[in-house]
Amino acid sequence: KIEAVRALEILDSRGNPTVRVNVTLDNGVVATASVPSGASTGEHEAVELRDGEARYGGKGVLKAVKNVNEQIAPEIKGLDPTHQAEIDSRMLQLDGTPNKAKLGANAILGVSMAVARAAAQTSALPLYAYLGGAGARRLPVPMMNIINGGKHAQNSVDFQEFMVLPIGAQSFSEALRFGTETFHALARILNAKGYSTSVGDEGGFAPDLESNEQACEVIVDAIRAAGYEPGKDIAIALDPAASSFWDGSAYDLSKSGQGRKDTGEMIALYESWITSYPIVSIEDGLDENDWAGFGRQTASQGNRIQIVGDDIFVTNPAFIARGIAEHAANAVLIKLNQIGTVTETVEAIALCREAGWGYVISHRSGETEDAFIADFAVAMGGGQIKTGSACRSERIAKYNRLLEIEAELGACSTFKSPFA
Ligand code: PGA
Ligand code: ZN
């Protein structure tokens, strides 16, 4: 039974405060979880409660911490930690708002994740097996974000993420090696061309390239330089995060000198890239409120590539259901803190599965050393994880945990790229 729940204000990978929660059970089990935080957040995400006021530029989370300690803790004390849905629904009721604005999604999620961990520990199961059942053994293909732009870097690239997907690898550890060798090859190429190899929030390089397209070109060069075949061994995925350069009337690509574009022109731009580069997945290619545009892009390109909705769906089952009804995409980016409980996140994934949609378990640009999503990706078995480049320990923590899970599963582990 849950004996105590204590929250603490800690720092994330950008040095911004975030919430860590400890759950103690009456059998002595203590479990911890830490909450991540986005920069290019979706308009309809659950509310991340921040203190305002002077400390940490208004980003303190002492109110969320207090909500855990004084409101949530007494509400769930004495409950069985394996009753995840009941605990999550008690917190929703206690909050009482549609977007977790009262207690804060950061408070609620910290507890939700720590409860899941405590339940796994008390069941003597690794977290992936507790959440995914005895059949959970599929390791995900990593989408490794090796060039950062947009809101994740101070450079001239408008698109937020250029990722490599080692689709031809035979195992997770091999995929991680393919991607990491490509990352190192990219460093050599950028250095040789006189570009900066300092990194952005997710550990990808943040060079001042001439254009967004040049990012694809140098990545293809890096794949080759690392000894791999573009499109066969390693493919490319994009997350333009288009809401961040939609100015209300056009997609403003002037940061990289490509002017302003409408929805049709953006879809045409992606079309030309799909034919020139080995792109297998595009996330948030259009603004989060452009449902019709998402539908148009999916109708014309969804048969060839994965169209992922992140800001448009915000891991919210209601938005995903609408997306499925309107054919607005064919995959969903899954971020626990966009919706705020483990139970609702699992429900979002269940909708994807029923519709035959893909789903990608994802980190946030502001992360901690908590590797919860590594276990979660194996538990949910969708075969895809997005958790940054091959540097910055808050990203590597997830990869290292996946290596550990792969080793633990041994010959029982499976690895099958959804794109191979
Ligand atoms: P965020 O970015 O965590 O800053 O929202 C990640 C993404 O857009 O996928
Ligand atoms: Zn995104």
pLDDT in tens, 313-343: 999 999 999 999 999 999 999 999 999 999 9
Instruction: Please say if 1 is a catalytic residue.
Output: no
Instruction: Give the pLDDT mean for 391-407.
Output: 98
- Contacts (Cβ under 8 Å, ≥6 apart) of 391: 183, 199, 203
Instruction: Give the pLDDT mean for 40-58.
Output: 96
Asked if 212 and 258 count as a contact pair (C-beta separation under 8 A), the reply is yes
Q: How far apart are CA 38 and CA 315, in angstroms?
A: 13
Distance from Cα 300 to the centre of ligand 1, integer Å: 25
Distance from Cα 335 to the centre of ligand 1, integer Å: 9
Q: How far apart are CA 406 and CA 397, in angstroms?
A: 14
pLDDT in tens, 240-291: 999 999 999 999 998 888 899 999 999 999 999 999 999 999 999 999 999 9
pLDDT of residue 155: 85
390 three-state secondary structure: coil
pLDDT of residue 282: 98
Does residue 205 surpass a pLDDT of 90? yes
Instruction: Give the pLDDT mean for 177-182.
Output: 98
Distance from Cα 151 to the centre of ligand 1, integer Å: 9
pLDDT of residue 118: 98
Atom in ligand 1 nearest the alpha carbon of residue 362: 9
Residue nearest atom 1 in ligand 1 by C-alpha distance = 38
Give the burial class of 201: count Cβ atoms within 10 A of its Cβ; 0-12 exposed, 13-18 middle, 19 or more buried: buried
Atom in ligand 1 nearest the alpha carbon of residue 151: 4
Does residue 165 surpass a pLDDT of 90? yes
Phi, psi of 386 (to 5 degrees): -120, 110
295 three-state secondary structure: helix
Q: Ligand 1 within 6 A of 40 CB?
A: yes
Q: Ligand 1 within 6 A of 38 CB?
A: yes
Distance from Cα 241 to the centre of ligand 1, integer Å: 8
Q: Ligand 1 within 6 A of 413 CB?
A: no
pTM of the model: 0.98
Q: Ligand 1 within 6 A of 239 CB?
A: yes
Instruction: Please say if 335 is a catalytic residue.
Output: yes
Q: Ligand 1 within 6 A of 149 CB?
A: no
Q: How far apart are CA 169 and CA 417, in angstroms?
A: 8
Q: Per DSSP, what are the bridge partners of residue 251?
A: 246, 261
Q: Ligand 1 within 6 A of 14 CB?
A: no
Q: How far apart are CA 218 and CA 236, in angstroms?
A: 12
Looking from the CA of 261 toward its CB, the CA atoms found within 13 Å total 23
Average model confidence (pLDDT) across the chain: 97
Q: In this structure, which ligand is nearest to the CA of 202?
A: 1
Q: Catalytic pick from 45, 48, 181, 202? A: 202
Does residue 153 surpass a pLDDT of 90? no
Distance from Cα 244 to the centre of ligand 2, integer Å: 10
Q: Catalytic pick from 59, 100, 335, 398? A: 335
Q: How far apart are CA 109 and CA 219, in angstroms?
A: 36
Q: Ligand 1 within 6 A of 41 CB?
A: yes
Instruction: Give the pLDDT mean for 162-178.
Output: 98
